[in-house]
Structure 1
Amino acid sequence: MDSHSSVIFYRKRCKSRMWLFYLLNTNYRTMKKYSLFSALLVICLSVQQIFAQTTPVVLPGFTAYADPEEKDVEINSSNGVIDWTGNNNTINFYFHAATSGKLKVTLQARSDAGSKVSVTLNGMTKIVSIPNNNEYTDISVLQTTISKPGFYTITLKGIEKSGKVYADVKGISLEGPATKDIQFNPKSWRRSASVHLNYPVPEGKNVEWFYGEIKVPEGEDKLGTYFMSCGFHRGYFGMQVNGPAERRIIFSVWDAGTEPDKRSNVKYEDQVVLLAKGDSVYASGFGGEGTGGHSHWLYNWKAGETYRFLMHAVPVGSTTTYTAYFFVPEHHEWKLIASFRAPKDGKYMGHLYSFLENFSFENGHLGRKGYYGNHWIKTNTGEWIELTKAKFTNDATAKAKDRLDFGGGSENGWFYLWTSGFKPANAQYGDIFERPAGGKQPEIVLPRF
């Protein structure tokens, strides 16, 4: 082969190799792109499969709470969050996750002229636009990973608005593996669970007198709370927070019969009769949750102080007269609250108990706690017996698992009860608590009339 032919052959071979290299390189790049596309496709399909495997759950709008107060917004039992006009508060939804995993959040909302709202969950915040629409729209908000079981809060905050409201919120939809065994309140009943201490009485003892004390820690005296000290089979006696500037000592006794709402429907012979009441004490009938005789005294009791309660029962024939006294520390004396005669009774006090109740819907998310202690009974024979054991029970809200945040126990010589705050329960129905005996019966000198 001459030199000219050699050069031509070399060039052709080089071109062939270059072409082969080009083909190989092109195929590699194509395969690489195809592999990347395939991987992304697999990821997308996997994510879709993850969310498709779980049924969405919806946190109803009517279960939300506003902080620091329900002002410039209404949380309606039928329509959820409506008339949200102010941004000095946040709207909060609560749930308990039992399973870790992915969670997708979708807002079911509308606005009157378009707005922007921030949504925060699990340390992640997104700002979403709420369209102007008469109908509710599903608005995808964010995806997060729930790393451990526990209580979580979804917080909404108004950012911008063109019209009157930031948003009407029908609900929040949750999807993903983290919804497995998720717990939330599905009902418009926004009060927290009521919790009780039931005091066993030695068999064969007739309880003529029932004495108890309550101390509420500072900050736990939330609006709409009833701290009840001396409850029995026909009534209850304790103290309430009724308003920002109103607190009460309250005593009530139920009528005989089964009328649930209207006292006017109760036969006269089944009605509790008011026999006496203390100075400045208000007394009347009541209905709505059973019927009976009600009394209360406006008294500005204070958190951190200890208050004393005393019940007296006198059975005569088929009736029993129940009388409540409250010790006024400023006056160093016992005050008569009221005395009611209960028909179709004729026995001493039974089913002795204390309770803690949240009776306000608007702040059913706020924690409250009370200490209950130094309970004693005095029998009809004059024997004093200290009550140092209590059985823990709760109400229908807890039994239905609509709320999981409640508990009680014994500490520092007192029993205690708590409810709300969306923190784990520390007691179960039927738990038995004990406190150390003080050993000193109460000294009681009642006023003479």
Structure 2
Amino acid sequence: MHPGLFKVLFEVYFKHVFMKKLGTALLLCIYALTTSAQSVTLPGFTAYASPLEEGIVIDEHRGVENWESSQAEVKFYCYISNPGKLNISLDAKSTGASLKVITNGVSKQVKLSSLNDYTKLPVLQTEIKKAGFYDITITGLTKTGKTFADIRGVILEGTATKDIQYNPKPWRRSASVHLKYTPPANEKVEWFYGEIKVPTGEDKIGTYYMSCGFHRGYFGIQVNSATERRVIFSVWDAGGEPETRDKVRYEDQVTLLAKGDEVVAHGFGGEGTGGHSHWVYNWQADSTYRFLMHSVPEDTYTTYTAYFYVPEHKEWKLVASFRAPKDGQYMKNLYSFLENFSFENGNISCKAYYGNHWIKTAEGKWYPLNQAKFSNDATARAKDRLDYGGGAEQQWFYLWTAGFKPANAKAGDTFEHTSNVNSPVINLPKF
């Protein structure tokens, strides 16, 4: 073939065939990327039931199931960064029901016919006008069978899904937040004192408010149920972190030396292992509670003892005393924290005030801890949750988590409150 003719034919093919096919392929790729970027699914296992998770199940694999109660609303949450159009669909199945879906002030009823398998059911469209947290609330209106619907997820589509944030994991707890204190350098921390006050309405079930934490343990108060509250003190074993304590060598286990009247003490596992103690005590919101830790090193062991001041009795109560092996140090890495260990309440805000923290050295000198550095846990670092914070108000630090409201602190922030003036006066009971 003549070289000139070959060149002409090649140019014709390249311009009219090859480029056309390539252009189509590029358009399809761009469309696919755009579509995927504008469609996300909030997994059903991240939902919450309001006001209580009763008459409904939020399964960590399958999502919303066995939804029998008309009193239980289903709530999904997300943070929308880019205002724009938002289309909402349910990925659900049902034996027949009608539901109401509300978001961004827009309400729509949807009827579900008998669906044996999960089906995408378009519900409503809305225009998001400003960035922020949004909830999608689903209410059961009528049902023909025993349950309203099983919901595997909520599908969001539209320009408002760009850079959307939501929790993709079945871990429904809120982020844990901490205050890290720095005592004067080279001082031996023999005593560690602190106070906590939980505001009314912030004492949620499943929340632990920890006042005096250190490198081997933690000491605080907890809401265990609607009828039970506790004072809790625990010390970790030495060595690694197996799931069960029966795998910890005896020489690595902490030993209970003493405990107060009515205090329950035993080993624990699941998140490290160690010795646990608690006293069932009906502490109250808006009251200030006092905590005192003591450490006594001896050779390669350290004895850690926790005391709780009982306002009704106006005296300090021994909680427990544990002897920790492979230690031999005074307390270090001092901190406080707030956590909600309940999946069911992971959407409900909780807050506490932490203040008047002091240390007393082995030489008998008191030092106030007026500064603290803020930190958070893996849930916050992974950006699965964005609703947490802390700060300082007058003579208190404060920590909060959950509630799907904007964070007001970031890891590494330093807080400082009004200086502590008078060191604690401690009159411990004689044994």
1:260 matches 2:205:
no
Query: C-alpha distance in 1, partners of 2:339/2:160?
Result: 32
Indicate conservation of the 8 Å contact 1:274/1:338, yes or no: yes
Query: C-alpha distance in 1, partners of 2:356/2:237?
Result: 29
- Map Cα deviations across residues 318-375 of structure 1 (whole Å, 9 max, x no partner): 0000000000000000000000000000000000000000010001000000000000
Match of 1:202 in 2: 184
Indicate conservation of the 8 Å contact 1:358/1:364, yes or no: yes
Query: C-alpha distance in 2, partners of 1:128/1:51?
Result: 28
The one-letter amino acid of 2:217's match is G
Match of 2:426 in 1: 444
Matches within 5 A, 1:163-312: 163-312=145-294
Corresponding residue to 2:138 among 156, 163, 177:
156
Query: C-alpha distance in 2, partners of 1:411/1:372?
Result: 10
Indicate conservation of the 8 Å contact 2:209/2:338, yes or no: yes
The structural deviation recorded for 1:54 is 3.8
- Map Cα deviations across residues 9-38 of structure 1 (whole Å, 9 max, x no partner): xxxxxxxxxxxxxxxxxxxxxxxxxxxxxx
Query: C-alpha distance in 1, partners of 2:96/2:309?
Result: 58
Query: C-alpha distance in 2, partners of 1:350/1:284?
Result: 24
Query: C-alpha distance in 1, partners of 2:132/2:242?
Result: 38
Corresponding residue to 2:55 among 68, 72, 80:
72
The one-letter amino acid of 2:51's match is P
Task: Give the number of the structure whose alpha-carbon radius of gyration is greater.
Answer: 1
Indicate conservation of the 8 Å contact 2:242/2:272, yes or no: yes
Percent identity reads 63
The one-letter amino acid of 2:39's match is P
SS in structure 2 at match of 1:422: coil
Corresponding residue to 1:97 among 47, 56, 80:
80
Query: C-alpha distance in 2, partners of 1:356/1:392?
Result: 12
Matches within 5 A, 1:373-388: 373-388=355-370
Q: Which moved more, 1:369-378 or 1:118-127?
A: 118-127
Query: C-alpha distance in 1, partners of 2:395/2:80?
Result: 35
Query: C-alpha distance in 1, partners of 2:247/2:402?
Result: 36
Matches within 5 A, 1:380-419: 380-419=362-401
Match of 1:135 in 2: 117
Query: C-alpha distance in 2, partners of 1:438/1:287?
Result: 37
The structural deviation recorded for 1:87 is 0.8
SS in structure 1 at match of 2:117: coil
1:349 matches 2:345:
no
The one-letter amino acid of 2:369's match is L
Indicate conservation of the 8 Å contact 2:56/2:65, yes or no: yes
Divergent runs of 4+, >3 A: 48-55
Query: C-alpha distance in 2, partners of 1:88/1:361?
Result: 19
Corresponding residue to 2:346 among 361, 364, 367:
364
SS in structure 2 at match of 1:442: coil
Query: C-alpha distance in 2, partners of 1:225/1:114?
Result: 38
The one-letter amino acid of 2:205's match is L
What is the RMSD computed on CA atoms of the aligned residues?
A: 1.3
The structural deviation recorded for 1:413 is 1.4
Query: C-alpha distance in 2, partners of 1:123/1:55?
Result: 22
Indicate conservation of the 8 Å contact 1:51/1:177, yes or no: no
Query: C-alpha distance in 2, partners of 1:167/1:432?
Result: 47
Match of 2:46 in 1: 63
The structural deviation recorded for 1:201 is 1.2
| TM-aligned CA distance change 1:49 to 1:277, over 3 Å | closer
Matches within 5 A, 1:100-139: 100-111=83-94, 113-139=95-121
The one-letter amino acid of 1:131's match is S
SS in structure 1 at match of 2:321: strand
Match of 1:324 in 2: 306
Indicate conservation of the 8 Å contact 1:51/1:175, yes or no: no
Query: C-alpha distance in 2, partners of 1:273/1:412?
Result: 40
Give the TM-score of the pair, scaled to structure 1.
0.88
Match of 2:70 in 1: 87
SS in structure 2 at match of 1:134: strand
Query: C-alpha distance in 2, partners of 1:105/1:192?
Result: 25
The one-letter amino acid of 2:304's match is Y
SS in structure 1 at match of 2:329: coil
Query: C-alpha distance in 1, partners of 2:117/2:359?
Result: 61
Query: C-alpha distance in 1, partners of 2:343/2:199?
Result: 22
Query: C-alpha distance in 2, partners of 1:247/1:75?
Result: 26
The one-letter amino acid of 1:110's match is K
Match of 2:24 in 1: none
Count of aligned residue pairs for this structure pair:
401
| TM-aligned CA distance change 1:115 to 1:212, over 3 Å | same
The structural deviation recorded for 1:130 is 1.7
- Map Cα deviations across residues 281-322 of structure 1 (whole Å, 9 max, x no partner): 000000000000000000000000000000000000000000
The one-letter amino acid of 1:77's match is E
The one-letter amino acid of 2:428's match is L
Indicate conservation of the 8 Å contact 1:259/1:265, yes or no: no
The structural deviation recorded for 1:51 is 7.9
The one-letter amino acid of 1:417's match is L
The one-letter amino acid of 1:185's match is N
The one-letter amino acid of 2:351's match is K
The structural deviation recorded for 1:129 is 1.4
Structure 2 unpaired stretches of 5+: 1-30
Corresponding residue to 2:414 among 432, 441, 445:
432
Matches within 5 A, 1:2-17: none
Indicate conservation of the 8 Å contact 1:50/1:177, yes or no: no
The one-letter amino acid of 1:130's match is L
Structure 1 unpaired stretches of 5+: 1-47
Matches within 5 A, 1:9-28: none
Query: C-alpha distance in 1, partners of 2:262/2:305?
Result: 16
The structural deviation recorded for 1:438 is 2.4
